[in-house]
Amino acid sequence: MLPAAYTIAEFCDSHRISRSKLYELWDVGKGPRVMCVGTKKLISMEAAADWRRDLEKSIQSDAVAA
């Protein structure tokens, strides 16, 4: 059974990015949505899917513009 949300570590592992890269993405407004449960930050599966979709769209837009 898949979890309903990723921890930061799980998200980074499954998307093959470093924790520092994820924080860089959040700093520039390009990271996935996050929800806070107590002191823990979680990324829902839906937020991760939306982030991947948006990233793919931006890459396709960049390729068309070039």
Q: Give me the pLDDT at residue 39, please.
A: 95
Return the domain boundaries, the chain.
Answer: 5-65
Averages of pLDDT over each 10 residues, the chain, 66 residues: 90 97 96 96 97 89 64
Is this model's pTM higher than 0.85 or not? no
Q: Give me the pLDDT at residue 21, please.
A: 97
Our CA angle for 11, 58, 16, nearest 5°, is 25
Q: Which of 13, 5, 4 is nearest to 43 (CA)?
A: 5
Q: Which fold has domain 5-65?
A: Multidrug-efflux Transporter Regulator; Chain: A; Domain 2 (1.10.1660)
Specify burial of residue 17 (Cβ count, 10 A radius: 0-12, 13-18, 19+). Answer: middle
Q: Give me the pLDDT at residue 63, please.
A: 63
